[in-house]
Structure 1
Amino acid sequence: MIRAKRDRHSLSDAQIDWVVDAYTRGVVADEQMSALAMAIFLNGMEPGEIARWTNAMIDTGERMSFADLGKVTADKHSTGGVGDKVTLPLAPLVASYGVAVPQLSGRGLGHTGGTLDKLEAIPGWSADVSNARLREILADPGCVICAPGADLVPADKRLYALRDVTATVDCIPLIASSIMSKKIAEGAGSLTLDVKVGSGAFMKDAQTARALAETMVRLGKDSGLATSALLTDMSRPLGRAIGNALEVEESVAVLAGGGPADLVELTVALADEMLTKSGVDHDDLAERLADGRAMDTWKAMIRAQGGDPDAELPRATHTEDVVAERDGWLTETDALAFGVASWRLGAGRARKEDPVQAGAGIELHAVVGDKVSAGQKLFTLHTDTPERIPRALEALTPGFTVGDDEPAERASVILDAVK
């Protein structure tokens, strides 16, 4: 099989079924799967191979079903970015319309933040929810954000860890099968994908992002899962907060009818897509955020998972401001630079077993398009370990620019759609 893929041949269904199962059981060695993953990375897969690989991964574990829940179910997945806290306001917003949202989420690695890390900044909140308890929470209040169980696509847990240390993560067949195997196995009625494009995303340009989106949408539809995707801008951070507790605070602001315009725009667009696919009539979504109904669902969800939605969030013990050195316009905030800086402050992890600091991260007091003055505070760095600040500044400083000319206004955070 390694030789076949090395020499640009397609793998048969039987070969794919065998190797995915055998690797999950430990029969195929890590060094062999590493070689096969690199061959796939270099030479790609045909659509039929990707579909079979995805199904073979699903077959290594359980398939969930919510058919007896008595509610329509909808799911959303983001390919990851910087400041991307959309799941937090989105799940309760959609659930406030009576749609059940089983949001099985992950932790951050490297410069991209993890939804579970963010929510664990809330005192008492737990990511671990049994299948029985998950169904109870989906019945009322209607949404749950939690870690997937050990029996959901165990092949992906092994293969992802291997890809992470062999430089084979950013490969469309392997990304698509990793994401879609878990989402199909989750058993929701529909799926909306948020495929990020730009420096802070896995897909750096619109062409490769669209190819990934089209592959995932096709996999979903072929399996009977109503699937669509939005391509969204990750050339700059989303919102004005990066880091776990900071992003929870900003999410609560959105649920209170405020928050940054780009974050609200994306939350509303994804909610509209999820509700439309669910066949649910919906009124003005921004109004639903402002009138408190989505906030009520948020608080009920946090309490259902052991958290206190009214508790004070953790604060970092040290802060350092970054100020403008001249008058001008803020013309660039590179998402990757801000993500790496936040990670170095302690908001993220280099290895999956590393701890994270709940209060670490970056506040953006100015965003691209703002006019600034010399000495004005642009960003605030937060950390419990001030010795990290110089390395964080090393990453951050080349990632923002103050120039003479006002930059063109971004028309929308949403770049394209695949349906």
Structure 2
Amino acid sequence: MNHTAVDVIRAKRDGGALSDEQIDWVVDAYTEGLVADEQMSALAMAILLNGMTARETARWTRAMVDSGERLHLDVGRPTVDKHSTGGVGDKITLPLAPLVAACGAAVPQLSGRGLGHTGGTLDKLESIPGWRARLSVDEVRAQLRSVGAVICATTEGLAPADRKLYALRDVTGTVEAIPLIASSIMSKKIAEGAEALVLDVKVGSGAFMKSEEQARALAAALVSIGVDHGLAVSALLTDMSTPLGRAVGNAVEVEESVDVLKGGGPQDVVDLTVALAREMLSRAGITADPAAVLASGEAYETWARMIRAQGGDPEAALPRGGHRHVVTAAADGYLTRQDAYAIGVAAWRLGAGRARKEDPVQAGAGILCLAKPGERLVEGQPLLELYTDTPEAIPAALATLADAHGVGDEPPPSTPLVIDTIRG
């Protein structure tokens, strides 16, 4: 049957379900340049407005995987990966990958760069002198065999349809379509070749999904796709109303991650790292106790080997922005609220993130949260430390932070970091 882009657009515009043949054709034709950007924009908007069935989403994902190559990771260990939907201070990949590797799994963590208020794992690691993000497929395999963990940029050949469509969604107001988010995440992860996958689906002000209902819908879609493709897959819903840990930025988040690997660090970062590690090891069929391995120092040794394998110096001093500004508490009381989104945007304004994918980032820019919700404050006590190499950015960052904190007479109710776990 001959398909046309207009027929496919009309079918979805009118609320119909696309056939497998229509999906295969339109994804392939768009990748090859036979369907124009404006036509795919119209289809993406129709998907945003009318949704997709589980069958359609699974088939769309399969078509995106089939647009490129698949990695075949025969590395002598069970392979398991993790993906986070992104948050503020979310440096969990950094301690998690070496921890899970130290427990006996292989972790092929193909990561991205930050855009907007959420930081990118590669941007953080590039603050380490000498470290390189780009590895060949052979280098990825060799490092997984020798170290057990690799964090690097996605190779060009994986899911090229997703790369093209992702850029289009960003400029056409269709980023929020859950079927397109789910297929974007899963097509890259399936093409990457891991046998098991754990998803960290964030919910709250600093997350992409602001409501628990939205986050659950995304988690269910991700798990459904994983099951359809034969993956052992779990999704944890985790709180992102407050930044994770105390560091938000690039080098400052690496420092905090190293503290965790050395047996210290903020409790929430430790707790989430261990919770995700436990789930990853369970899905990989490994019985090691990640809390004990973290306490032993083995995870730090694996981190150091991983960084060295990619040209970095794990002992090198990390950059810190040359200009420092301190935000203080306006009143006595308990810190009741610390808005993750506001702090993420402020760090971005200081130079830790980018507005466009081609923008540079400052390795030393960032924010340290000196107090966390539930802690007692005294008026004038330091709340935040801002770091940047562009002092002219400080006023805009401060304006963003104007309503980022709440202070009250009573501590806030404690909320669980892990809200729920959904398993396929």
Same fold (TM over 0.5): yes
Contact 1:320 1:380 in 2 (8 A): yes
The AA in structure 1 aligned to 2:162 is D
For structure 2, which runs of at least 5 residues remain unmatched after alignment? 1-7
Match of 1:52 in 2: 59
Query: One-letter code of the match for 2:266?
Result: P
- The answer (yes or no) to whether the contact 2:99–2:302 under 8 Å persists in 1 is yes
Q: Which AA in structure 1 matches 2:28?
A: D
How do residues 217-296 of structure 1 correspond to structure 2 at under 5 angstroms? Answer: 217-283=223-289, 285-296=290-301
Counterpart in 2 of 1:328?
333
Q: Deviations over 1:323-360 (max 9, x none)?
A: 01111111111111111111111000001000000011
Of 181, 186, 189 in structure 2, the residue corresponding to residue 183 of structure 1 is 189
In the TM superposition, what whole-angstrom CA distance separates every residue of 1:253-289 from its partner, at most 9, and x where no partner exists? 0001111111111000000001111111113x22321
Query: Corresponding residue for 2:95?
Result: 89
Contact 2:352 2:364 in 1 (8 A): yes
Alignment TM-score, normalising by the size of structure 1: 0.98
Instruction: Find the counterpart in structure 2 of residue 387 from structure 1.
Output: 392
Q: Distance in 2 between matches of 1:270 and 1:136?
A: 25
Deviation, structure 1 residue 405:
2.1
Unaligned runs of 5+ in 1: none
Provide the residue aligned with 1:155 in structure 2.
161
The farther-off stretch of 228-237 and 21-30 is 21-30
Asked if the contact 2:52/2:179 (under 8 Å) is kept, the reply is yes
Structure 2 Cα separation of the partners of residues 393 and 105 of structure 1: 30
Q: What letter is aligned with 1:273?
A: E
Q: Is the contact between residue 67 and residue 160 of structure 2 (CA under 8 Å) also seen in structure 1?
A: yes
Where does residue 418 of structure 2 map in the other structure? 414
8 Å Cα contact 2:103-2:293 kept in structure 1: no
Deviation digits for residues 153-185 of structure 1, max 9, x if unmatched?
000110000001111111110000000011111
Query: Could you tell me the percent identity over the aligned residues?
Result: 66
1:62-101 C-alpha deviation (Å, 9 max, x unpaired): 01111x3211111000000000000000000000022110
Question: Is the aligned partner of 1:6 residue 2:13?
Answer: yes
Query: Which residue of structure 1 aligns with residue 34 of structure 2?
Result: 27
In 2, distance between residues paired with 1:115 and 1:36?
A: 31
Where do residues 275-354 of structure 1 align in structure 2 (5 Å cutoff)?
275-283=281-289, 285-354=290-359
One-letter code of the match for 2:233?
T
Q: 1:368-403 CA distances to partner (integer Å, 9 max, x unpaired)?
A: 001000110000011100100111111112111122
Aligned residue identity for 1:280: I
CA-to-aligned-CA distance 1:27-67 (integer Å, 9 cap, x gap): 1111111111011001101111101100000110001111x
CA shift, 1:140, in A, is 1.1
1:290 shift after superposition: 2.1
Q: Do the aligned residues in 1 keep the contact of 2:89 with 2:246 (CA within 8 Å)?
A: yes
**Cα distance in structure 2, aligned partners of 1:41 and 1:288:** 44
1:61 maps to which of 59, 65, 68: 68
Whether the 8 Å contact between 1:257 and 1:286 is mirrored in structure 2 is no
* Bigger mean CA offset, 399-408 vs 235-244: 399-408
Letter in 2 for 1:341: A
SS at match of 2:255: helix
Q: What is the RMSD of the two structures over their aligned residues, measured on CA atoms?
A: 0.8
What are the superposed Cα offsets for residues 192-222 of structure 1, whole Å, 9 maximum, x if unpaired?
A: 0000001111111111111111111111011
Aligned counterpart, 1:213: 219
Asked if the contact 1:255–1:289 (Cα under 8 Å) also holds between the matched residues in 2, the reply is: yes
- In 2, the alpha carbon distance for the partners of 1:85 and 1:204 equals 20
Write the distance in 2 (CA, Å) between the matches of 1:269 and 1:336. 24
Answer yes or no: is 1:194 the counterpart of 2:218: no
Give the 3-state SS of the residue equivalent to 1:398 in structure 2. coil
Output the TM-score relative to the length of structure 2.
Answer: 0.97
Moved over 2 A (4+): none
What letter corresponds to residue 391 of structure 1 in structure 2?
A: A
Residue aligning to 1:365: 370
The 2-side partners of 1:251 and 1:176 are apart by 28
Greater Cα shift, 345-354 or 288-297: 288-297
Q: CA deviation at 1:189?
A: 1.1
Deviations 1:90-131 (A, max 9, x none): 000000022110000000000011000000000000000111
How many angstroms apart in 2 are the aligned matches of 1:210 and 1:307? 38
Q: Structure 1 residue 190: deviation in Å?
A: 0.3
- In structure 2, what is the equivalent of residue 131 of structure 1? 137
Kindly state the Cα deviation for residue 2 of structure 1 after the two structures are TM-superposed: 1.2
Of the three residues 109, 112, 130, the one matched with 2:115 is 109
C-alpha separation between the residues in 2 aligned to 1:15 and 1:266?
A: 41
Q: Is the 8 A contact 1:254 1:264 kept in 2?
A: yes
Aligned partners of 1:78, 1:156: CA distance in 2, in Å? Answer: 17
Number of aligned residues? 416
